Amino acid sequence: MGALAGVVHPTIYKAGTIIEEMLAPVSYRGDSEEISTYRFNKIEMGAYGEESIASNPPQTVWAMLDGTIFNEDALREELKDEGYRCNSDSTAEIIALSYECWGPEFLAKLNGSFSVAIFDTKKHRLLLARDKVGIKPIYWSHHNDTFLFGSELKSILATGLMPQIPAGEGIASYLFFGYIPQDISAIEGVNKLLPGYYLLYDFDKNFIIHPYWSYGSFFLEKNDEDITAITSHLDGLIKDSVAIRKDDEESSCFLGDDIASAVMACYAEKSPHGPSPMGCSTSFEGMKSASPDVADAISEKLGIVNTSSAITSRDILDNLVKITWFLDEPIADPSLLKTWKLATMAREQKISRVFSSVGSDEIFAGDSRYLAYSTKLWKKKPAHPVSKALIRYIAFPITKIFNATLAYHLLWKWHVKHPIIDYLNKNAVFNKRKLERVSPDLANRFDVETFLQKFFRLRAIDDDIAPLLYFSAKTSLPDNALHQYDRLTAANGLELRAPFLDSRIMEYMANIPDAIKIQKKETSVVLKSLLKDVFPEDLLKTPKKELSPDFGALLKDPALHEIFSMLIEGTVVESGYISKRWLKKRVAKAKKGKGSFLQLWAVLSLEVWMRLFVNTPKPHGVVDIPLKDFLEK
């Protein structure tokens, strides 16, 4: 765990001691109370921990690290071959020397979960980078000639230098997806650095953002091996991925009703490194889920001690404010309550490492929603070559003269695989039509077809579900799943280990055709083949269940209904983000156990976030207060 932050002031005369103020709200991320700082000219940056900042011997390169590099031993040897010597055990020193040796290109060599900040004193240049998948976060802002960055949004807002104004596009995209995707944030003028990218900013106020890893490129060629060869190769990759993530510390496995958690737990238990892990599992009380039963079967077969606990409405009432404070952004995904519950259970086991199968759906096609698209009918018929030429070389240039936005929109519609749009609209919290009723002011701030223009790789990726797997890995994985896993495990003093998100596994599986990943309406085929000699067939055939949409019990819960009723006079309605008329109708329906729990949950999460990060200036310490008391303030 760790946290980093920094600022490049407009001039040296404005430089001060702002780092401690930036790091105060994220002290829970640090594994040490000590703050290490570095100041030079008009830049100051800092991080928690004695060895969190290091330099090369001439002290011309200074590096900070939040996270873990799993292949640092290999990097040490590679640096030694290049004539560099590491003088300490600090991973930050390896980062500094690697930058000096290879420049920004060294980032492609890293295998880990990290965000880094590097300052080059010779070039007066700052480099920020985030890991390939997006496990660790980093925010940045350039406002009034001041450049700010930090592991969390709270660090930037704590300076008081950024107006706490909600970003219209960010809030609108949240209401559509249920999370804020890509480089957008919930605050105007603040951005997230994309996974697999680095940012360069110099003292002349110039900056560039550039990718150092392209996940999409690995989908372009397909592996022609059979399932036996694929299983054998993947077995070696997972063994090594678990081995480099497992040490002598006690650990626990997050267990669910999916085969991926069984695979992860099996490899963690059989790894020769460190003690055998424990297990944690949870499910919503009264909900349709096989999680506890399957988790118990997995743990019994592997000899793992599993702790199970149900989630009740009391968990929402007691913890939602605190959870939202840790998250930095609103997330309309009730499963974050499961993430929080698992993290608190692991903390009570007095361990510091947790293994999770997060990312398995996107990598191994484990989500049952993908089954509807595993057919060759999914892609629209290719345009005739003459039609393509007319659109690209005649219609597009002429339209662009009069209306550039329309021209690019038409070009995109010609290229786009329409079922992706259908998929997104079907799974949206509020699709375009609903958003026009719920939030007329925000309906025009986000357009899903325009948003898809960011993903140019989609046009080149063949196969049926591969485009969806790629899109999910670039959006919901880092911006929903990993966002909550990183924040909520760190909040409980835990370090997340996600073996399936090793870039070697992701690159290899991107090459595997859909026909291998999904067969006869069966998901996660490759993962199941790994365990055919370990678990009985009936367990392997257990389908991964989506979170049941039947939230009738929670909708009718008197305490929760009182909370939903309080939203009618809340900040989101007063600010014009949510229609009061619409909300009144939905709350009335909820009292009868009807309507969409997910939509009310989205409004509730946004309300709590607005009060914490917009209405409250310069957020500092953890806000731990019951939900009702918080809304009554």
Find all residues with CB under 8 Å of 30, minimum gap 6, and list them. Answer: 1, 2, 3, 23, 47, 48, 49
Structure tokens at 568: 């009618």
- 546 lies in a domain? no
- Do 576 and 427 fall within a single domain? no
So what's the pLDDT on residue 377? 37
- 362 lies in a domain? yes
Q: How many CA atoms lie within 13 A of 180 on its CB side?
A: 25
Find all residues with CB under 8 Å of 405, minimum gap 6, and list them. Answer: none
As a whole number of angstroms, the distance between CA 530 and CA 180 comes to 35
Segment-wise mean pLDDT, segments of 10 residues, the chain, 633 residues? 91 81 90 85 90 94 96 96 93 97 98 98 98 97 96 96 96 98 97 98 95 96 93 97 93 90 93 90 72 75 90 93 97 95 95 95 88 55 53 67 65 59 90 93 91 85 89 97 97 96 98 90 89 77 53 79 96 96 94 87 98 91 94 91
Strand 306-311 to strand 278-284: parallel, antiparallel, or no bridges (unpaired)?
A: parallel
- Do 531 and 556 fall within a single domain? no
What's the CATH number where 360 sits? 3.40.50.620
Residue carrying the six token digits 């009380």: 285
In the chain, what is the straight-line distance between the N-terminal and C-terminal CA atoms, in Å?
Answer: 33
Last residue within a domain, chosen from 213, 228, 259 = 213
Note every long-range contact of 560-566, with CB atoms under 8 Å and residues 24 or more positions apart, other chains counting.
560/313, 560/316, 560/317, 561/587, 561/590, 561/591, 562/628, 563/317, 563/604, 563/627, 563/628, 563/631, 564/590, 564/600, 564/604, 566/628, 566/631, 566/632
What's the CATH number where 201 sits? 3.60.20.10
- 145 lies in a domain? yes
Q: Give the total number of structural domains in the chain.
A: 4
- 479 lies in a domain? yes
DSSP letters, 374-421, are: -SGGGSPPPPPHHHHHHIIIIIHHHHHHH-HHHHHHHHHHHHS-HHHH
Given a contact cutoff of 8 angstroms between Cβ atoms, the answer to whether 88 and 63 are in contact is no
Q: Using the 8-state DSSP alphabet, how is residue 31 labeled?
A: S
In sequence order, the β-bridge partners of residue 355 are 253, 497
Find all residues with CB under 8 Å of 272, minimum gap 6, and list them. Answer: 243
Please report, for residues 256, 279, 281, 356, 499, the alpha-carbon distance to residue 342 in angstroms, rounded to integers and kept in the order given: 10, 9, 7, 10, 18
- 57 lies in a domain? yes
- 404 lies in a domain? yes
CB atoms within 10 A of CB 44: 21
Given a contact cutoff of 8 angstroms between Cβ atoms, the answer to whether 238 and 271 are in contact is no
- Do 486 and 454 fall within a single domain? no
Query: Coil, strand or helix: which one is 511?
Result: coil
- Do 237 and 314 fall within a single domain? yes
Given a contact cutoff of 8 angstroms between Cβ atoms, the answer to whether 131 and 114 are in contact is yes
CB atoms within 10 A of CB 198: 21
- 547 lies in a domain? no
Last residue within a domain, chosen from 213, 235, 264 = 213
CA angle (45, 58, 36) in 5-degree steps: 25
Q: Can you give the residue range of the structural domain that contains 176?
A: 4-213
- Do 202 and 238 fall within a single domain? no
Please report, for residues 315, 551, 603, the alpha-carbon distance to residue 567 in angstroms, rounded to integers and kept in the order given: 19, 19, 8
Given a contact cutoff of 8 angstroms between Cβ atoms, the answer to whether 587 and 567 are in contact is yes
So what's the pLDDT on residue 378? 43
Strand 4-8 to strand 43-48: parallel, antiparallel, or no bridges (unpaired)?
A: antiparallel
Structure tokens at 531: 């365990």
The predicted model scores a pTM of: 0.91
So what's the pLDDT on residue 138? 97
- Do 459 and 571 fall within a single domain? no
- Do 438 and 301 fall within a single domain? no
CB atoms within 10 A of CB 459: 12
CB atoms within 10 A of CB 227: 13
- Do 26 and 143 fall within a single domain? yes
- Do 221 and 297 fall within a single domain? yes
Last residue within a domain, chosen from 483, 513, 540 = 540
As a whole number of angstroms, the distance between CA 39 and CA 45 comes to 7
Query: Coil, strand or helix: which one is 182?
Result: coil
H/E stretch holding 620: none
- Comparing CA positions, the residue from 477, 446, 476, 472 lying closest to residue 461 is 472
H/E stretch holding 170: helix 168-177
CB atoms within 10 A of CB 356: 26
So what's the pLDDT on residue 290? 47
- 275 lies in a domain? yes
- Do 16 and 88 fall within a single domain? yes
What ranges in 403-501 are assigned the alpha helix state H? 404-415, 418-427, 432-438, 448-452, 466-474, 476, 482-490
In sequence order, the β-bridge partners of residue 353 are 251, 495
- Do 61 and 155 fall within a single domain? yes
- Do 323 and 419 fall within a single domain? no
Find all residues with CB under 8 Å of 28, minimum gap 6, and list them. Answer: 326, 490, 491, 493, 622
